Amino acid sequence: MKASDTIRSAIEASVRSGALQPGDPIDEAALAEAHGVSRTPVREAILQLQAQGLLTALPRVGVVVAKVDVQQLFAMWELLMELESFCARLACERMTDEERAELARTHRRAEAVVADGDRDGWQDANLAFHECLYRGSRNEYLREEILRARTRTGAYRKHAFSAIGGLQASHSQHGEILAAVLARDPESAAHAMHRHMTPGQGLRSLTDVIVNLPRDLLV
């Protein structure tokens, strides 16, 4: 993997996890030092992420993590819900027996995280569950599009989760998805995933969440 690709992936992961928030500056020198490279591959990675819309350059500020407006966020969130639902449907149809068993094990391992109320741990457990489905869908392009959408909306979804969601509720929704996958019911798997990705279980609630986000996260 090229150095610029490694750096791009690292920036994307930081945004997805919330380590980098919308509006945060990108420190070229720190990235170059952390990866043991010159600034050239760092700038290549930044240019790629600017082309994707994840980063933006501001006058007298430099390159920062891009913010979005309410309309953009609603559109991206809607798309993510549909992509995740389609992925669950494909995974339900295509996963092997071992992959279904691994999904069940991943769900069980998350029980300890939920019991401890570990919100940071849940971020990892949640992604591990979804990654099982991404692999099971047998569609790498779909996975890449989902991860791109998750990265762009990560900070906003995390705030929504803190405001109206809960670990137990999300874990229970994973259980519904798992049950549908084990039953080989693609329609139910897609429906359960759509509910899981919708704050408050409805588009009206999604709208309410978005319009009440902190103003410093939005354009």
pLDDT in tens, 28-75: 999 999 999 999 999 999 999 999 999 999 999 999 999 998 889 889
Sort strands 55-58 and 62-65 into parallel, antiparallel or unpaired. antiparallel
Q: What is the pLDDT of residues 155-207, one digit of tens each?
A: 888 777 765 557 898 999 999 999 999 999 999 999 999 999 987 555 556 67
Identify whether the C-beta of residue 154 lies closer than 8 Å to the C-beta of residue 188: no
Q: Which domains does the chain have, with CATH numbers?
A: 3-65 (1.10.10.10), 70-217 (1.20.120.530)
Instruction: Return the SS3 of 60.
Output: coil
Identify whether the C-beta of residue 57 lies closer than 8 Å to the C-beta of residue 63: yes
Structure tokens at 76: 């991206």
83-87, 180-184, 206-210: range with lowest mean pLDDT: 206-210
For the cut 60, the answer to whether the pLDDT of residue 18 exceeds it is yes
Structure tokens at 14: 């930081």
